[in-house]
C-alpha cells in the first residue's frame, strides 16, 4: 500500500451511524481484530482485551447503556475495547494506568477502524456509555475498564467527511506558539487543492 493509498483510507473513514442488517463474516471480524493486535503499546504490554458483541439481545442492552444511541442497536457487531488497568499499572504505576492504557487501546481502535474501512465496512467510536452497567452486562472483571465501544457494519449511509483543522492550525515548530510555515499544508495528495495553491503562493512570496 502506498502512502497515498493509506491517506485515502484515512480520509475516507468517517463515523458511520447507519448500518444495513447484513451480517459480518467471521473472517472479516478476524481481520479487524488482527489489526488491533499490531498497535504499539508501552513496553509492549498490550494492555487491551476485546469483547465482540453479536448477540441481538446483548446489543440492545448495550445500546440502552450507551444512552440509546441507535447505531449501537443497529450495528450487526460491536467491539467493546477493554483496558487492563492492573497490567498497565504493574509496570508503569499511575502513568501506565491513567495514560498509557488509554493510548494503547486508542491505537488499537484506530487500527481496527482503518482495517474496517479497507474492508468496505463502516465503523463508529462510541465513548458515551455507562461504564458500570456495561461491566455488569458483559461480566467484565474489576481490573478491566471498558474504554470504548466500536460499532461495525455495512453502511446504509456514509456521512460526508467531517471538517478537520488544517495542519498549520494545530502544529508548531520547535516550541509552542511558533507557527509552521504554510508549506506544510502542501503535504496533500489531492482533494485539498485550495491549500496547495495557498502554499505555492506563500512559497513564491518567500523566494521572489
CB of 123 to ligand FMN, least distance (A): 9
Count Cα atoms within 13 angstroms, Cβ side, for 84.
Answer: 14
CA–CA distances in Å: residue 201 to residues 105, 173, 180, 206: 41, 21, 15, 9
Cell of 38: 499490531
- Minimum CB distance to ligand FMN smaller for 17 or for 47: 17
Q: 179 phi and psi, to 5 degrees?
A: -70, 145
Applying the rule CB under 6 A, the residues between 55 and 74 that interact with ligand FMN are: 69
Pairing of strands 77-84, 48-53: antiparallel
Contacts of 14 (CB under 8 A, 6+ apart): 122, 158, 159, 160, 161, 162
* Identity of the residue, 12 or 90, whose beta carbon is nearer to ligand FMN in the bound complex: 12
121 binds ligand FMN (CB under 6 A): no
Our CB check for ligand FMN shows the closer of 52 and 102 to be 102
Kindly write out the interface string for residues 16-35 of this chain, putting x where it contacts ligand FMN by CB under 6 A and - elsewhere.
-x------------------
Contact status, residue 140 vs residue 157, Cβ threshold 8 Å: no
124 contributes a contact to ligand FMN by CB under 6 A: yes
**Which CB atom, from 112 or from 124, has the smaller least distance to ligand FMN?**
124
**Site stretch for ligand FMN (CB under 6 A), options 26-34, 53-61, 118-126, 174-182:** 118-126
Residues 180-199 that bind ligand FMN (CB under 6 A): none
Residue ranges in contact with ligand FMN by CB under 6 A: 14-15, 17, 69, 124-128, 162
Amino acid at each position: 500500500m502506498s502512502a497515498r493509498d493509506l491517506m485515502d483510507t484515512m480520509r475516507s473513514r468517517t463515523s458511520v451511524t447507519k448500518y444495513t442488517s447484513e451480517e459480518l463474516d467471521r473472517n472479516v471480524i478476524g481481520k479487524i481484530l488482527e489489526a488491533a493486535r499490531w498497535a504499539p503499546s508501552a513496553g509492549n504490554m498490550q494492555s487491551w482485551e476485546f469483547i465482540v458483541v453479536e448477540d441481538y439481545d446483548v446489543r440492545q442492552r448495550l445500546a440502552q447503556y450507551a444512552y440509546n444511541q441507535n447505531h449501537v442497536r443497529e450495528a450487526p457487531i460491536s467491539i467493546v475495547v477493554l483496558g487492563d488497568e492492573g497490567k498497565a499499572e504493574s509496570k508503569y504505576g499511575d502513568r501506565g494506568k491513567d495514560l498509557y492504557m488509554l493510548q494503547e487501546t486508542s491505537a488499537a481502535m484506530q487500527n481496527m477502524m482503518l482495517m474496517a474501512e479497507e474492508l468496505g465496512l463502516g465503523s463508529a467510536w462510541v465513548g458515551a456509555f455507562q461504564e458500570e452497567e456495561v461491566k455488569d452486562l458483559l461480566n467484565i472483571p474489576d481490573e478491566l475498564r471498558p474504554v470504548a465501544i466500536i460499532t461495525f457494519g455495512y453502511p446504509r449511509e456514509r456521512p460526508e467527511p467531517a471538517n478537520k483543522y488544517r495542519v498549520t492550525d494545530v502544529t508548531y515548530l520547535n516550541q509552542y506558539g511558533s507557527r509552521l510555515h504554510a508549506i506544510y499544508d502542501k503535504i496533500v495528495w489531492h482533494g485539498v487543492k485550495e491549500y496547495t495553491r495557498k502554499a505555492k503562493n506563500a512559497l513564491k512570496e518567500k523566494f521572489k
